[in-house]
Structure 1
Amino acid sequence: MIQYGLMISGNNWKPGIGDPTIMGWLTVLGYFITAILCFKCGQKKKNSHWIWWALSLLLLILGINKQLDLQSWFTIMGKKIAIKQGWYEKRRFVQRDFIIGLVAISSASFMFIMQWMGTKVKQFILPLLGLIFLLVFIIIRATSFHHVDRLLGWELGGIRLNWILELGGISCLAIAAIKEILTPNKRSPS
């Protein structure tokens, strides 16, 4: 399991730095810088401001979560509730249903956005790709299975799979926001 020694002691979550590594801090910095870029993009793009502001809020929340490791708190609380209510032995079914629910909600949201955007979807391909990368990463992390944690720790040339998914998604969103910020607004003919 990916270790966050300062955060989890036994079965208790403690507030603190979730990922004190250089990559952890670079990822948090990436989340926050990209959140700012998306916010600025929302200020500039009046016809799609809500999309950029929603992305900005999501990235801010994910950046905070990256360091507080709140999903570990939810996992620990879920385990305590499962033990107390006597269904801990059947937790795999609950985990499976949780993941199915996450996938269903993510897929439905994605399809709704694609349908709603119609022809404008082409201009949002890069942010959508970044969002998909992040959603896949979040869903994989949410499973909290030990073999999944080993998969995320898998390295290719010294680069971990979880860095590729998480930083890949953040990078797609940052590049898309920078591109939109640097693109001049089209003026209406007078």
Structure 2
Amino acid sequence: MSLLLADLVWRPLTGTRWGLAISAAHLLAALLCFRAATVQPAVQPTAETPEGPGDQKSTRSLYWIGLALIMVLLSLNKLFDLQSLITIYGRGLAKDQGWYSDRRTLQVTLVAGAAAVSLVGLLVSLYLLRGHWRERTLAHFSLAFLLTLVTIRTTSYGPLDAFLYGLPTVGNRMNAGLELAGAVLVSIGALQALQSRKNSSARDRAGDPPEPYTNSAATVIPQ
């Protein structure tokens, strides 16, 4: 293979102020998600979420830690412009192997695949988020939007690039605005979870009794 790293015109750590701001926004969202993982209380099971309090706490912590790690990766991607490295390498590989002229077919396939994965993820999320809509929905779907945006952008498909980077009087601000908005919405979602913890603590201090935990499988009906 004749493609050399020297052929890759990639400049990490040379982002614009927009890029640095977006990277910082991703990192802030990661910190808030991690904070949500550490302070989320164990809630009593309901008919929609029948697992025990300990399971609830563990599941919530893992969920928010997972979101935090993904946001850290997105921050590093923006800071080091890793997606451009993948795009440039893929373009060079296509030229080196002689199928660059047919790249549109692959790009359309990748964009369609990203859309299909997002749709499947949406349907799966409708099931996984049952019982947790209030505290997880905004952060969850905002993250899904960010991942879809990054995936589609990496394909470097011409019409989408024109929309993200080349609109008259808007230029790159469309791409930057969408990604920044996604990061901000993830942060707001994490703050909603933190507010839920605050409200729960306030009820505890007020002396409100917790909801009873009953296991229907173990309930004995008196004769």
| 1:17 is the counterpart of 2:13 | yes
Decide whether the 8 Å contact of 1:133 with 1:165 is kept in 2. Answer: no
Superposition pairs for residues 101-140 of structure 1, below 5 Å?
A: 101-140=113-152
The 3 A distance-change label for structure 1 pair 86 and 158 is closer
| 1:35 is the counterpart of 2:30 | yes
Decide whether the 8 Å contact of 2:29 with 2:183 is kept in 1. Answer: yes
Superposition pairs for residues 17-166 of structure 1, below 5 Å?
A: 17-19=13-15, 21-45=16-40, 46=57, 47-153=59-165, 154=167, 160-166=173-179
Question: Structure 1 or 2: larger strand share?
Answer: 1
Q: Tell me the TM-score normalized by structure 1.
A: 0.80
The 3 A distance-change label for structure 1 pair 51 and 157 is same
- Matched letter for residue 116 of structure 1: L
Decide whether the 8 Å contact of 1:127 with 1:172 is kept in 2. Answer: yes
Partners of 1:146 and 1:89 in 2: how far apart? 13
Decide whether the 8 Å contact of 1:126 with 1:172 is kept in 2. Answer: yes
Identical counterparts, % of pairs = 28
Name the counterpart of 2:43. Answer: none
What displacement does 1:100 show?
1.8
| 1:181 is the counterpart of 2:194 | yes
What displacement does 1:11 show?
4.6
Decide whether the 8 Å contact of 1:11 with 1:76 is kept in 2. Answer: no
Q: Secondary structure at the match of 1:118?
A: coil
What displacement does 1:157 show?
7.8
What displacement does 1:74 show?
1.1
The 3 A distance-change label for structure 1 pair 138 and 157 is closer
The count of corresponding residues between Structure 1 and Structure 2 is 181
What displacement does 1:82 show?
1.7
The 3 A distance-change label for structure 1 pair 182 and 155 is farther
Partners of 1:105 and 1:149 in 2: how far apart? 20
Partners of 1:101 and 1:159 in 2: how far apart? 25
What displacement does 1:111 show?
1.7
Computing the radius of gyration from Cα coordinates, the structure with the larger value is 2
